[in-house]
Copies of this chain bind each other. A is one copy, B any other.
Amino acid sequence: MKVSLLRCSRCGRTAIYRRPYEGIALCKACFLRDIEERIRRTISKYDMLKFDDHIAVAVSGGKDSLTLLRILRKMERRFPKSKLTAVTVDEGIRGYRAEAVKLAREYCGELDVDHVVVSFRELFGRTLDQIVRSKKELSPCSYCGVLRRRAIHIAARNAKANKIATAHNLDDEVQTILINIFHGDAKRIARVEPVLVDPAGRFAERIKPVCEIPEKEVALYAYLTGTKFQTTPCPYLTTALRNDVREMLNRIEEKHTGTKFTIFRSMERLRNYLKLSIGAAELRNCRGCGEPTTQEFCEVCKTLGTTLRSGSV
């Protein structure tokens, strides 16, 4: 019996991956190069970076953020005026976050990148576990999302970074789009985008260089580069609608290859129409903490249910 090996569509060596949505196969070297090249294309297409940016990279310790850090570090070496700072948020999730912080610290050491850890306890006076125990109205992910975003912004500001890079991959973005639709949050669709600019200029610009790479390929990249990443899922994950949406999207993608990309593009067009008619929201200072917000109190103050002193959050 003759066993025929799958060959790399680019160089003819033994392939290690079949990419269904392009109908090609890739060897290890060509796969790694391809992912880096595609991230570079995303950065250039959305005009994400300048040669002298100081980028705060949000590093959770998972496969996505460590991959992002690795690739940005590789790119940064070619731009002597640029700078990277890795930021890890310790939300205070017992039995979960400590391992991730350790992995992030080690990886930053390996890549020779400055590493900053900020915690919910230190910034907001309590851990996520404590918040979840005392508040039941929203899902843990809703509280965490609002506070983590603010924590990263504060860390970036303290480090004097002018950009924040997060490792949202294609699956994350497409899930968020559907969740917004499922929640009836039509306006938020316009805010799921590769580059998020604060019109008031008080928060650093947020960029998502991995937003066009499927989750599976980010995981493969991390695996092939020998990256040690956290594999334990967050203990709060099961409570989230996101989990069901993820499963459902994977099932549909399996039968209808390319659907995730199509949804991403579909929303890109929709976003442009939406922006035309919604227009930019007007920002003012939160009466609680003084940070920019579109409402009287910002989401962080509403989440914490407190009126915080200006500047402390």
Contacts and interface: CB of A to CB of B under 8 A. Distances in A.
Contacts of A29: none
Interface residues of A, number: 31
Interface string A166-206: 00000000000100111111110100000000000000000
Interface in A212-250: 241, 244-245, 248
The main secondary structure of chain A at its interface with chain B is helix
What is the count of identical protomers in the complex? Answer: 2
A182 B180 CA distance: 15
A255 B266 contact: no
A263 B182 contact: yes
Nearest to A177: B181
A262 B183 contact: yes
Interface string A265-297: 111011001101110000000000000000000
Contacts of A251: 244, 248
Contact of A256 (B241, B252, B262): B241
Interface of A: 177, 180-187, 189, 241, 244-245, 248, 251-252, 255-256, 259, 262-263, 265-267, 269-270, 273-274, 276-278
Given A251-B244, A277-B273, A263 B186 contact: no
Contacts of A274: 270, 273-274, 277
B241 A186 contact: no
Of all A-B residue pairs in the complex, the 8 with the closest CB atoms, nearest first, are: A276-B277, A184-B266, A186-B270, A184-B262, A248-B248, A273-B277, A186-B269, A277-B277
